[in-house]
Structure 1
Amino acid sequence: MANSSGLLVIERILRDRQGIWQQVVEDRGLTRLTGQMLVSTVIALACYGAVLGSFHSVLMALTSAVKLPLLFLVTLAICLPTLYLFNLVFGARLSVRQSLSLVMVALTVTAMLALAFAPISLFFLITAPDYGFFKLLNVAILALSALVGLRFLTGGMKVLNEHGLLAPRPALAGGPAPAPAVPPADPAAPAADPAAPVTVPANGNGATATLTQTVPAQAPPGQQFVLHPHPHMRPVPRPQAAATPPSMALLYVWILLFGFVGTQLAWTLRPFFGSPGMKFSLYRDIDGNFYAEIFRTIAHLF
């Protein structure tokens, strides 16, 4: 699966997402991987854009096949520097290749999922060719596909956080920490046998219990041990919760920014569907906004 190319890269992303994240963490072969995802994203969005424009005419289908990939790629070009600088400001150690590959995984999943919905969109185009319903249906398809893609993006960022790439490298001040002082052993005292049974009080009424389990002398770094009263239970390590870095919090702000830029750019590049009562036009005058148009369409349907 590591040599998958073209449209088959989506199969590797879905089947081996941990392998993809590990490749991003190691910054290994990302140029080729990003190129494969770019090709598959453009082809998938072009096919889906042709479905959108086919509601109006063949010429509209061709222009939508060009404009839909352009919409996603221009939005990425506008917003990617913001994500990269966010990471640099808060000490993340991601390269430009890693940031681009991370976002391209989300775009590839979004594009391929939208392409998977294309037969459903065509079905309603043939059986129920209503302009308002068709427009809302495809907006919902793109929104659902984008949500799934963003889940991959947040999942990848969490993996990078687990590998410490979203936090600054810890500084070693003054060299390695000195070893803790150990008091000298008393030569007259008998050596302690770690496997020997130890008698301890079990409760407050004078009863005792014998512990035969070996207890480690020193806990591993970053762990605390909880001693249980049962003599045959091992100490249970209590992991310490890792703090969420600012880069993870700012990722959600960047996702909102990406959504606002994308919807405004989509409004600028319209039409994608083509109103049935209007002649073909490459662009329309910029008036209103995307969200007002969606609300007007919903009000018209109901």
Structure 2
Amino acid sequence: MASYLQQADHLLRPRGQALPSLRVLPLLVIVLGGGYGAVMGTYGGLSADRLWQVVYSGTKVPLLLLATFSISLPSFFVVNTLAGLRNDFGKVLSALLATQAGLTVILFSLAPYTILWYLSFDDYGRAILFNGLMFAVASISAQFILLKFYRPLIRQNPLHRLMLVLWLLIYSFVGIQMGWVLRPFIGSPDEPVEFFRENSWGNAYEMVFGIIQRSFGF
């Protein structure tokens, strides 16, 4: 356990150019992402009929992060190859994995705020928006980790700066849509607990805009 904590600390405070152990990074995503997901699933309470939502949500947050990463990576690899940066891709992959793990460390640290929100407000739509805000805070904060690990690559070849922007665009686009497909992460207390919604597919961006409109009465 102490070793994992040291690796998590290294993500937040990189020492030199050394990256954390690649064996540890996916485990941090699974464990800490699952921890935040379990907290997300407690919105409807911890009664016997709602416990499965905690389990489902704890499973789906790591699934969301790892699936988004896996879907985004092949096209990013191809573009890096076309840009003549294939020889650096091992270091790029390590930096991206470190950022994924760092994101979950930050996200898990925000779990107490989610619990406080649930205890203070009972509106389902705003619970969705609040969790979206927590993901946004964690994602934006994780970019500082990505920049720290990417800086040596950018110094070596300025094209990596463009690739970094491209990765953020690809990852964000895929991540939002994957979040919609894998819903519900919170689960409305008025609906039965289920792993997937019956109509999982659709345009995530239209739906998110609709949730914002309904939550604020527009």
Q: Calculate percent identity across the aligned residue pairs.
A: 27
In 2, distance between residues paired with 1:118 and 1:36?
Answer: 21
85 and 7 in structure 1: CA distance in 2 versus 1, 3 angstrom threshold: farther
Structure scoring higher RCO (CA < 8 A, sep ≥ 6) equals 2
**1:252 corresponds to which residue?**
165
1:134-145 equivalences under 5 Å are 134-145=127-138
**1:180 corresponds to which residue?**
none
1:133 to 126, 135, 140: 126
Report the AA paired with residue 51 of structure 2.
V
Matched, 1:110 2:106: no
1:26-105 equivalences under 5 Å are 33-56=21-44, 57-92=50-85, 93-96=87-90, 98-105=91-98
Report the AA paired with residue 38 of structure 2.
A
In 2, distance between residues paired with 1:83 and 1:272?
Answer: 28
Offset, 1:14: 2.1
Offset, 1:59: 0.7
Offset, 1:116: 0.8
130 and 12 in structure 1: CA distance in 2 versus 1, 3 angstrom threshold: same
Offset, 1:287: 4.5
**1:157 corresponds to which residue?**
150
1:170-181 equivalences under 5 Å are none
In 1, distance between residues paired with 2:212 and 2:37?
Answer: 22
In 2, distance between residues paired with 1:253 and 1:87?
Answer: 10
In 1, distance between residues paired with 2:125 and 2:196?
Answer: 19
Superposed CA deviations along residues 33-77 of structure 1, whole A, max 9, x for unmatched, are 111121112111101001111113211110110111011111111
**2:18 corresponds to which residue?**
23
1:145-294 equivalences under 5 Å are 145-162=138-155, 164=156, 166=157, 244-245=158-159, 247-284=160-197, 285-294=199-208
Aligned-pair RMSD on alpha carbons?
Answer: 1.8
Matched, 1:299 2:203: no
Matched, 1:13 2:11: yes
| Equivalences, count | 208
3-state DSSP of counterpart to 2:187: coil
Offset, 1:295: 1.8
What's the TM-score, normalizing by structure 1? 0.64
Report the AA paired with residue 209 of structure 2.
F
Offset, 1:298: 1.8
In 2, distance between residues paired with 1:80 and 1:106?
Answer: 14
Q: Which structure dedicates a bigger proportion of its chain to strand?
A: 1
What's the TM-score, normalizing by structure 2? 0.87
Report the AA paired with residue 94 of structure 1.
D
Superposed CA deviations along residues 191-233 of structure 1, whole A, max 9, x for unmatched, are xxxxxxxxxxxxxxxxxxxxxxxxxxxxxxxxxxxxxxxxxxx
Offset, 1:87: 2.3
Structure 2 alignment gaps of length 5 or more: 45-49
Q: Which structure dedicates a bigger proportion of its chain to helix?
A: 2
Superposed CA deviations along residues 240-292 of structure 1, whole A, max 9, x for unmatched, are xxxx32x3213212211111111111111111111221111111113432222
Report the AA paired with residue 88 of structure 2.
L
Structure 1 alignment gaps of length 5 or more: 25-29, 167-243
Is the radius of gyration larger for structure 1 or structure 2?
1
3-state DSSP of counterpart to 1:273: coil
Runs of 4+ in structure 1 deviating by more than 4 angstroms, as ranges, are none
Report the AA paired with residue 39 of structure 2.
V
